[in-house]
Amino acid sequence: MKPIFLVGEAWGENEARLSTPFVGSSGVELMRQLHEAEVISLTQGERNRIDLYYRTGDPKHLAKIWEGHPEVYRTNVFNRHPPSNRLEHFCGGKADGIPGYGPLLPSKYTRAEFAPELDRLGDEILEHDPNLIICLGNSAVWALTGRTGVSKLRGTTVLSTHCVAGYKLLVCYHPAAVLRQYELRPTTIADLSKAVSASQTGTLDRPPCEIWIEPDLDDIHTFIQTHIKASQLIACDIETSGTRITCMGFAPRRDLALVIPFDDPRKAGKSYWPTPELERRCWELIRSVLEDAEIRKVFQNGLYDIAFLLRSYGIRVFGALHDSMLLHHALQPEALKGLGYLGSLYTNHGPWKSERRHTETIKREE
């Protein structure tokens, strides 16, 4: 079985002493996260060694624990200790940066003299050829994708494009970030809990999904008659701008959805429908679904959607049974509630929110 490949940021003081990663306080937190996520199992003796580390400050106790877990392999983007633990010391202006890579920090580019660190990381990846690389923090994401954005990518799997291309990545917060913001911990445990199943293969195993886009009236009518009316429960969602709904979606199954657009920036009049009459007829089809109490519905932040539909379009929604935002709130009241966040926790779809070119909406999901 190939080990799960963990990529962190850089050595701290303890790591520099032993020339090995995650043997300081971040290492303890990472061990505990992996244990709670059922990636590794800490024995009582290993927990005693953690206590010894806290009593003595000797990182060798943590190194010994890691030796007992060959199911994970640890490394860093930078196998060196930045002064004061600040990555700014590795950075300069854009002209000084490594070609093909974006900024590591806002307006700060990793200087080309550190490119051998990426070569070494690439050699380690090729040597172990893992099915899954866990990117712990922005530096790891940057090294393997050429950009940053851990908060947008976390919890999802993507393919590496830099350093060594084509490897499956699972993006998570760095344990040091969790120690600074402990509210990130439940999310990080949930993200890491995907590691074992994701490491079974090296391919991106996205759930199969059929989405009807750019439909005409016949398509919408067929979808309603064939799929919506035969479903026990449908998901409904709207996107809004000003007082307009820019598009609406229906999903009668987890692998099937219909997206009905109303705005289209590609067209001269910015409207998807060629004539007001066609758009009116489209809304009558939508009304027939939303006002049918026999069709049970689930929304995401339905209090907003249902009120918006009534206020702006005069459509009264019946049969609204559940709200995924409120259901998640009942399970994790301290967590975020946005649809992108819920998707990262409960599905294996990619980070679709960051893949959209146009993200303008006034709809709030928190």
Q: Tell me the pLDDT tens digit for each residue of 193-224.
A: 999 999 999 999 888 999 999 999 999 999 99
Read off the pLDDT of residues 72-114 as tens digits, 9 standing for 90 and up. Answer: 999 999 999 999 999 999 999 999 999 999 999 999 999 999 9
Read off the pLDDT of residues 295-315 as tens digits, 9 standing for 90 and up. Answer: 999 999 999 999 999 999 999
* DSSP 8-state class, residue 310: H
Q: Cα-atom radius of gyration of the chain, to the nearest Å?
A: 24
Q: Backbone phi, then psi, for 238, in 5-degree steps?
A: -125, 155
CA distance 90 to 108: 9
Split at pLDDT 50, 70, 90, the class of 351 is confident
Q: Backbone phi, then psi, for 300, in 5-degree steps?
A: -110, 110
Confirm whether 4-198 and 210-355 share one CATH topology: no
**361 pLDDT above the threshold of 70:** no
Say which residue the tokens 């490897």 belong to: 167
| The amino acid at 315 | I
Mean local confidence (pLDDT), 309-327: 96
Q: Please give the CATH number for the structural domain made up of 4-198.
A: 3.40.470.10
| Most distant pair of Cα atoms in the chain: their distance | 77
CA distance 98 to 92: 10
pLDDT for position 350: 84
Q: pTM to 2 decimals?
A: 0.87
pLDDT for position 358: 53
Read off the pLDDT of residues 17-43 as tens digits, 9 standing for 90 and up. Answer: 999 999 999 999 999 999 999 999 999
Domain 210-355 -> CATH class? alpha beta
Please list the residues that pair with 249 across neighbouring strands.
237, 259
Split at pLDDT 50, 70, 90, the class of 335 is confident
pLDDT for position 356: 62
Mention every residue, 6+ apart, whose C-beta is less than 8 A from residue 109: 91, 92, 93, 94, 96, 97, 98, 101, 102, 103
Helices (H) and strands (E) in the chain, counts: 16, 13
CA distance 266 to 305: 26
E strands in 26-163 = 72-78, 91-92, 109-110, 133-136, 157-159
pLDDT for position 363: 57
Read off the pLDDT of residues 157-175 as tens digits, 9 standing for 90 and up. Answer: 999 999 999 999 999 999 9
CA distance 282 to 218: 10
Listed by start position, the domains of the chain span 4-198, 210-355
Average pLDDT, the chain: 94
Split at pLDDT 50, 70, 90, the class of 1 is confident
With CA atoms as reference, report the closest residue to 84 among 10, 19, 150. 10
- For the chain, give the percent of residues with pLDDT over 70: 96
Q: CA 122, 125, 129, 132: dihedral to nearest 10 degrees?
A: -120
Q: What does the block give as tokens for 340?
A: 């992108």
Say which residue the tokens 């996520």 belong to: 37
